[in-house]
């Protein structure tokens, strides 16, 4: 990879470090879909997983390596031959394969985790890089907990691994302990004190335990780093990682300050953010920078007045720059035709086959009969819904319920299951509980509800409600989504979506 001094390479680890966030586990298909989205974004390197950790992770990395053509595909490995062998095998068919080797170097890790000396650790790192280099030409090395590593030892180990064949050296603030000035000084010290640093790209990898991941990453860039490791929506272990969309938009918006650029197609941010949110079940906070629902909204009268006179008074970016809905938001209604519907989907970056378009347009017409105003977020959710139901074992055909303060909730559920139609009456603590009991009774699968959340897709009394559930089926935790103007219906759809995913996973294993 050519080192352009004015370019920052974006290394996305959503599929690896991001997935390590508690509860964020993604299935095989979701990982591949996100990898395609990251490729559309223009991500330079996709860290697809930790191949040695499980058969599932190995298979996912191998699939991403097989299908992704424009981004480097990377597999993580500890400084162990079995890890490196697994990573090399998983990424070998990639157009641009990389192995990312790591080894802890701070004194607290050496004394308590490894019980080894600095010399032993240095030799392990060198041997691991040499071994990996014999298998794959592009090797990255990370001294884990680098920000708390003694400076002189850090310089020595980086010089040694570069000499051994590492072409990228990543400097992790593993526990999010550093401050921007400290971390910037670490990067500057490396650039000034490692003799052969010109033969490698210096990378950042910052965690957000103190809310400083993005600030630390940018401080690293200012001081010479030219690769940033980050995730969509900032997901990751504990408090998360540096947020890709925030870093990229900071570099782009403040080009006058940074004087740098990336390869990222920022118009794909909004769609990719929602895709990651959907796959992980982690809702994007409304006040999230760049991709939050409120990021480009103004309620203050003073702000609104300023925006109407000149957008730049209170907006330093346009929503359209990150692929978000425009301030106008309203795009379609019940009298809109197929051509207008198709054009709006195209503007949102959504491409469908003719069969998918037919199904999506039919759903749009159904929604337009219920909602007076159709917004961009409604359309995105509608298309997702079409995808959820088009490939399931089980489909909700009808749901009738009665509930009130002084009556026992009752439901009648009609499902199409394995080609046959079933009807079931049930009652429960509430209409959602009753619906889930009816569904379980029909499909004969017991599922434990682990989490349940509701989010309004857009504003208004007739807004679509999106329900996200996490359920445990056997030993498999799966996430399901459903949307409707009726929350009970959305809840049933989400539960069925999760059950369908679990059944798909079981059919793959059997």
pLDDT digits (tens, 9 = 90+) for 110-126: 888 878 899 999 999 99
| Residue 74 pLDDT | 98
| Residue 118 pLDDT | 94
Q: Does the pLDDT value for residue 76 go beyond 60?
A: yes
Other beta carbons less than 10 A from residue 67's beta carbon: 14
Q: 176 and 215 in contact (C-beta within 8 Å)?
A: no
Q: 129 and 161 in contact (C-beta within 8 Å)?
A: yes
- 258: Cβ–Cβ under 8 A, 6 or more apart, which residues? 218, 221, 222, 250, 251
Q: How far apart are CA 30 and CA 32, in angstroms?
A: 5
Helix (H) or strand (E) holding 407: strand 407-417
- Give tens-digit pLDDT for 215-229: 999 999 999 999 999
How large a percentage of the chain has pLDDT more than 70? Answer: 90
Q: 253 and 246 in contact (C-beta within 8 Å)?
A: no
Q: How far apart are CA 495 and CA 475, in angstroms?
A: 17
The structural domains of the chain, ordered by start, are 9-280 (3.20.20.70), 392-509 (3.30.160.270)
Strands 201-206 and 227-230, bridge-based pairing: parallel
| Residue 381 pLDDT | 76
| Residue 4 pLDDT | 72
| Residue 329 pLDDT | 44
Residue 328's pLDDT band, with cuts at 50, 70 and 90, is very low
| Residue 168 pLDDT | 98
Q: Where are the alpha helices (DSSP H) in 211-317?
A: 213-222, 244-253, 255-258, 269-280, 301-309
| Residue 299 pLDDT | 46
Other beta carbons less than 10 A from residue 181's beta carbon: 12
Cα separations in angstroms, 195 against 154, 155, 186: 13, 9, 15
Q: How far apart are CA 148 and CA 316, in angstroms?
A: 36
Q: 31 and 15 in contact (C-beta within 8 Å)?
A: yes
φ, ψ (nearest 5 deg) of residue 451: -155, 150
Strands 465-473 and 476-484, bridge-based pairing: antiparallel
- CA nearest to 30, candidates 48, 52, 51: 48
- 95: Cβ–Cβ under 8 A, 6 or more apart, which residues? 68, 69, 70, 73
Q: What average pLDDT does this structure show over 469-488?
A: 87
Cα separations in angstroms, 172 against 121, 139, 141, 194: 17, 16, 10, 17
Higher-confidence residue: 172 or 303?
A: 172
- 366: Cβ–Cβ under 8 A, 6 or more apart, which residues? none
Q: 395 and 413 in contact (C-beta within 8 Å)?
A: no
Residue 371's pLDDT band, with cuts at 50, 70 and 90, is confident
Residue 298's pLDDT band, with cuts at 50, 70 and 90, is very low
Q: Does the pLDDT value for residue 447 go beyond 70?
A: yes
Residue 392's pLDDT band, with cuts at 50, 70 and 90, is low
* 149-153, 448-452, 498-502: range with highest mean pLDDT: 149-153
How large a percentage of the chain has pLDDT more than 90? Answer: 58
Kindly state the DSSP code that residue 312 receives in the 8-state scheme: G
- Give tens-digit pLDDT for 185-226: 999 999 999 999 999 999 999 999 999 999 999 999 999 999
Q: What average pLDDT does this structure show over 428-439?
A: 93
Q: How far apart are CA 318 and CA 299, in angstroms?
A: 17
Residue linked to tokens 């600030």? 215
- Give tens-digit pLDDT for 231-263: 999 999 999 999 999 999 999 999 999 999 999
Is 390 in a helix, a strand, or coil? helix
Q: Does the pLDDT value for residue 309 go beyond 80?
A: no
Higher-confidence residue: 473 or 77?
A: 77
Q: Does the pLDDT value for residue 7 go beyond 90?
A: yes
- Chain centroid to CA 484: 24
- CA nearest to 183, candidates 158, 156, 205, 199: 205
Q: What average pLDDT does this structure show over 436-443?
A: 92
| Residue 1 pLDDT | 56
Two structure tokens written together for 473: 């089926």
Write the Ramachandran bin of 223: left for phi over 0, alpha for psi from -120 to 50, otherwise beta: alpha
Two structure tokens written together for 457: 């897709």
CA angle 300, 305, 308 (to 5 degrees): 125
Helix (H) or strand (E) holding 172: strand 168-173
Find the range with the poorest average confidence among 288-302, 402-416, 487-501.
288-302
Q: Does the pLDDT value for residue 386 go beyond 90?
A: no
């Amino acid at each position: 990879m050519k080192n352009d001094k004015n370019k920052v390479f974006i290394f996305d680890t959503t599929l690896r470090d991001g997935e390590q966030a508690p509860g964020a586990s993604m299935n095989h298909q979701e990982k591949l879909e996100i990898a395609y989205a990251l490729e559309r974004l223009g991500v330079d390197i996709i860290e697809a997983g930790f191949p040695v950790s499980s058969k599932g992770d190995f298979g996912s990395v191998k699939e991403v390596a097989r299908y992704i053509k424009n981004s480097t595909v990377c597999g993580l490995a500890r400084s162990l031959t079995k890890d490196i062998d697994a990573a090399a095998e998983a990424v070998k068919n990639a157009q641009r394969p990389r192995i990312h080797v790591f080894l802890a170097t701070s004194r607290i890790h050496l004394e308590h985790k490894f019980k080894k000396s600095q010399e032993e650790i240095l030799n392990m790192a060198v041997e691991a890089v040499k071994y990996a280099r014999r298998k794959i030409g592009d090797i990255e090395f990370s001294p884990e907990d680098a920000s708390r590593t003694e400076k002189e030892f850090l310089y020595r180990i980086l010089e040694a691994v570069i000499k051994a064949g590492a072409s990228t050296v990543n400097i992790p603030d593993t526990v999010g302990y550093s401050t921007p000035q400290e971390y910037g000084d670490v990067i500057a010290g490396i650039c000034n004190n490692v003799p052969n640093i010109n033969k490698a790209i210096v990378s950042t990898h910052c965690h957000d335990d103190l809310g400083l991941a993005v600030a630390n990453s940018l401080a690293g860039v200012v001081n010479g780093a030219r690769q940033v490791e980050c995730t969509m929506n900032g997901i990751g272990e504990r408090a998360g990682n540096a947020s890709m969309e925030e870093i990229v938009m900071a570099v782009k918006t403040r080009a006058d300050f940074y004087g740098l650029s990336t390869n990222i197609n920022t118009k794909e941010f909004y769609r990719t953010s929602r895709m990651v949110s959907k796959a992980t079940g982690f809702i994007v906070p409304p006040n999230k920078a760049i991709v939050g629902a409120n990021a480009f909204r103004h309620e203050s009268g003073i702000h609104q007045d300023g925006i109407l006179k000149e957008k730049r008074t209170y907006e330093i970016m346009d929503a359209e720059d990150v692929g978000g809905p425009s301030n106008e938001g309203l795009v379609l209604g019940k009298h809109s035709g197929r051509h207008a519907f198709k054009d709006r989907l195209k503007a949102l970056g959504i491409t469908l086959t003719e069969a998918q378009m037919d199904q999506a347009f039919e759903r749009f017409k159904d929604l337009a009969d219920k909602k007076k105003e159709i917004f961009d977020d409604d359309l995105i959710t509608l298309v997702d819904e079409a995808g959820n139901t088009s490939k399931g074992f089980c489909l909700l055909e009808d749901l009738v319920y009665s509930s009130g303060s002084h009556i026992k909730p009752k439901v009648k559920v009609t499902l199409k299951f394995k080609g046959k139609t079933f009807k079931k009456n049930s009652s429960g603590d509430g209409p959602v509980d009753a619906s889930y009991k009816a569904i379980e009774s029909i499909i004969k699968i017991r599922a434990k509800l682990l989490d349940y959340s509701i989010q309004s897709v857009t504003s208004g009394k007739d807004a679509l409600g999106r329900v996200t559930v996490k359920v445990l089926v056997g030993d498999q935790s799966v996430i399901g989504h459903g949307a409707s103007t009726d929350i009970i219906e959305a809840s049933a759809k989400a539960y069925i979506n999760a059950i369908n995913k679990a059944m798909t996973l079981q059919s793959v294993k059997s």
